[in-house]
């Protein structure tokens, strides 16, 4: 059995930033590392070429009557910038206390290796474990998984033979409470570009005679929310479904403290969707957010120009029953209608993804045709969490998005058990990302117990 912490150090050292062409060696190194590790465990590994970064597809076969789990993860990471804000080198793993620091430690190399280590321990104890296991590990999750749909169509027959997907790419509220994620929001992303004059202009000579692109953009963006915080786009909420009572009851179990949450965020006022608490709003309601804005001079001091161009980056998080294409069209139509004369509007489409929800067994809205193996997997995970962590998990929707989970469901029919492992303080996508090694240890034991229980039927 390998040392999971030492292997995680090795994994982190590969700068596998999928969006950066300069990180080709790091991407290859990370892919070869995880493929080699699975081969060492006896898996038949296929490295599937794509238009961008390969997908690692590893299989442990067996009797067709055995349960079959697909374990998902990704080996790519976010860029480490800004590097000057890191207290330790981003791609040189450093252990401080019970945490390992480095880009990708929590998203997703640490959680992925947690599940690999659990499989390794289960197979070491019983090499003839009656369980079929497939690893599906991609290298483009952090850039929207553009190659995944083609891969999914090609490998759908093999994946349909499985019973469910298991992954750890979701969150825990704290290191003592496990959350099994029962839903993920969808995504609709695009950029807005506003162009005015053919070039930047002297604001003294030409100010007051034409529409400033920054002003026009600011006016447009200001119309997209009401003063109360609702998205001000006709039809935006039409498809939103009511939340089931059991979901609200599960959220109450979290015992979330608004004051502590505000202190953690460094804010003094919440701004949720009217009628919802901050915790409900971030899980049960759709959003429209501005993720970036620019135009004109950005350097030190002043430069008195009227810029030729301005832009904003917009993302919508969507809840089940909302469709990304329909929402994107609604928002774009609203922006078109509100664009003032004197400027040119252009959209740059970005990636999208649909919302996903799975209902754990025994709830009021559990589908009647739910797979019995999926129900067993939920029960086994629930029992393992209770035994290892000392308390049962909570089943919650999460505000984040993993679009490929909905794609897998659409193409293969497989639902997912999402066992969260990263914490709010892990700083995902930010400087000083880290992973709690105590959580890793308990996560390995939890997944190992789940797999063994599932194999027993």
96-124 mean pLDDT: 98
**Which H, E and C letters describe 229-298, residue by residue?**
CCECCCCCCCCCCCCCHHHHHHHHHCCCCHHHHHHHHCCCCCCCCCCCCHHHHHHHCCEEEEEEEEECCC
Burial tier of 30 (Cβ tally within 10 Å: 0-12, 13-18, 19+): buried
> Average pLDDT, whole number, for the chain?
95
How many Cβ atoms from other residues are within 10 Å of residue 368's Cβ?
Answer: 4
For the chain, list the domains and their CATH numbers: 4-184+355-456 (3.40.630.10), 186-240+286-353 (3.30.70.360)
Express each pLDDT in 14-34 by its tens digit.
999 999 999 999 999 999 999
Confidence of residue 421 (pLDDT cuts 50, 70, 90): very high
3-state secondary structure of 416: strand
State how far the Cα of 133 lies from the Cα of 451, in Å rounded to an integer.
10
Res 402 pLDDT > 90? no
Res 378 pLDDT > 90? yes
How many Cβ atoms from other residues are within 10 Å of residue 210's Cβ?
Answer: 13
6-9 long-range Cβ contacts below 8 angstroms, 24+ apart: 7/37, 7/113, 7/117, 8/93, 8/100, 8/105, 8/109, 8/110, 8/113, 8/435, 8/440, 9/93, 9/100, 9/102
Nearest 5°: CA angle at 320, between 318 and 321? 100
Express each pLDDT in 175-222 by its tens digit.
999 999 999 999 999 999 999 999 998 998 898 989 999 999 999 999
DSSP assignment, residue 84?
Answer: G
pTM: 0.88
Res 457 pLDDT > 80? no
Express each pLDDT in 264-311 by its tens digit.
889 999 989 988 989 999 999 999 999 999 999 899 999 999 999 999
């Amino acid at each position: 059995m390998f040392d999971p912490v030492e292997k995680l150090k090795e994994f982190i050292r590969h700068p596998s930033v999928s969006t950066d062409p300069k990180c080709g060696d790091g991407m290859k190194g990370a892919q070869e590392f995880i493929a080699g590790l699975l081969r060492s465990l006896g898996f038949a590994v296929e490295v599937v070429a794509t238009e961008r970064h390969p997908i690692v597809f590893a299989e442990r076969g067996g009797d067709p009557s055995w349960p079959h789990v697909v374990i998902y993860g990704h080996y790519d990471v976010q860029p480490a910038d800004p590097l000057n804000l890191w207290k330790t080198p981003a791609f040189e793993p450093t252990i401080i206390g019970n945490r390992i620091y480095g880009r990708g430690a929590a998203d997703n190399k640490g959680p992925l290796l947690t599940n690999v280590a659990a499989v390794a321990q289960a197979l070491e104890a019983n090499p003839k474990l009656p369980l079929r296991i497939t690893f599906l590990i991609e290298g483009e999750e952090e850039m929207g998984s553009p190659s995944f749909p083609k891969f999914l169509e090609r490998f759908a027959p093999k994946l349909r033979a499985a019973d469910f997907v298991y992954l750890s790419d979701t969150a825990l509220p704290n290191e003592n409470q496990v959350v099994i994620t029962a839903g993920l929001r969808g995504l609709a992303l695009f950029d807005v570009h506003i162009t005015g004059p053919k070039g930047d202009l002297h604001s003294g000579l030409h100010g007051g005679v034409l529409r400033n692109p920054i002003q026009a953009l600011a006016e447009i963006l200001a119309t997209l929310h009401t003063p109360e915080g609702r998205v001000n786009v006709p039809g935006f909420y039409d498809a939103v479904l009511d939340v089931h009572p059991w979901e609200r009851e599960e959220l109450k179990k979290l015992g979330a403290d608004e004051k502590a949450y505000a202190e953690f965020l460094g804010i003094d006022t919440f701004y949720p969707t009217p009628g919802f608490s901050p915790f409900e709003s971030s899980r049960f309601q759709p959003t429209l957010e501005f993720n970036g804005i620019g135009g004109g001079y950005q350097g030190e001091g002043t430069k008195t120009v009227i810029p030729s161009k301005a832009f904003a980056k917009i993302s919508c998080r969507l809840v089940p029953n909302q469709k990304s294409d329909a929402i994107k069209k609604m928002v774009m139509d609203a922006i078109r209608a509100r664009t003032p004369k004197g400027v040119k509007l252009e959209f740059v489409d970005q990636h999208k993804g649909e919302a996903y929800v799975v209902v754990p067994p025994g709830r009021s809205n559990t589908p009647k045709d739910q797979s019995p193996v999926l129900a067993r997997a939920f029960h086994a995970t629930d029992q393992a969490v209770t035994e290892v962590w000392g308390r049962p998990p909570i089943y919650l929707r999460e505000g984040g998005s993993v679009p490929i989970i909905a794609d897998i469901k659409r193409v293969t029919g497989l639902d997912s058990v999402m066992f969260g492992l990263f914490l709010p303080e892990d700083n995902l996508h930010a400087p000083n990302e880290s992973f709690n090694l105590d959580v890793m240890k308990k996560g390995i034991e939890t997944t190992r117990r789940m797999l063994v229980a599932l194999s027993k039927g």
